[in-house]
Amino acid sequence: MDFYTGKNFWKEGLDPGSEDAINKAEQELSFTLPKSYIELLREHNGGDLEYPYFFIGDEKERNAMYHMDGIDSEGLILSSPSIIDELGLPNKLVLLEGEYHSWIALDYRDKDIPSVTYFYEDYSEEEMKWGSIEIAPSFDIFITKLFRGSTLDPKKLKPSYGRSKPNM
């Protein structure tokens, strides 16, 4: 595994976000975005991630975020309030990535510095509710948890069981 260390965050991305666009987004969302997120937006205003994997929960389940939206007018970030309202997600979130059944968000509920939280549809009761698991207490910590590469140790894999090629 190769963890993100502050270089080459984006695999490919959109043009850099302007200071004007960043300020406008913060005003529209009514939240101060994390400084490290803003720094990444200055490189690319969203795009595909070079380090897409992270562990979630106590059981360290591997999850992925292959793309993170920026603050352009067509992106997920500025659409957060309408999506939150439509899907019944908790208020005070800024959505970074998701697909209706699960979301990764900056979670501003009861705090000025948002945590990064994974939200998922929870059907453990009769009526669907949104469950959540905090991935990291801040965006700064979240990006240090991102990695690329396999989580498997080739030395610990079982050797082949002598499968032979079929005769033709």
CATH code for position 117: 3.40.1580.10
Place 156 in a pLDDT band, splitting at 50, 70 and 90: low
Is residue 13 domain-resident? yes
**For residue 52, is it within any domain?**
yes
Computed over every residue of the chain, the mean pLDDT equals 87
CA-to-CA distance for 94 and 77, rounded, in angstroms?
A: 6
Dihedral of alpha carbons 123, 99, 140, 109, sign: negative
Q: Is residue 167 part of a domain?
A: no
So what's the pLDDT on residue 165? 55
**What tokens appear for 153 in the block?**
């140790």
Tell me the residue type at 130: W
In contact, 20 and 41? CB cutoff 8 Å:
no
What residue numbers bound the domain in which 22 lies?
2-151
* Beta-bridge partners for 106: 94, 116
Angle between helical axes of 19-29 and 35-43 (0-180°, round to 10) = 140
In a domain, 135, yes or no: yes
**What are the tens digits of pLDDT across the range 50-81?**
999 999 877 778 999 999 988 876 667 888 89
Of the candidates 53, 54, 41, the residue with the CA atom closest to the CA atom of residue 13: 41
Residue 35 lies in a domain: yes
| 82 in any annotated domain | yes
Number of domains, the chain: 1
Residue 77 confidence (pLDDT): 85
For the segment 90-119, the average pLDDT, to the nearest whole number, is: 94
Gap between the Cα atoms of 160 and 28, Å rounded: 57
Residue 163 pLDDT > 90, yes or no? Answer: no
pTM for this predicted structure? 0.84
- The answer to whether residue 36 sits within a structural domain is yes
- Residue in 72, 96, 86, 57 with CA at minimum distance from that of residue 15: 72
Establish if 163 belongs to a structural domain. no
For residue 126, the one-letter residue type is E
| Across 111-135, average pLDDT | 92
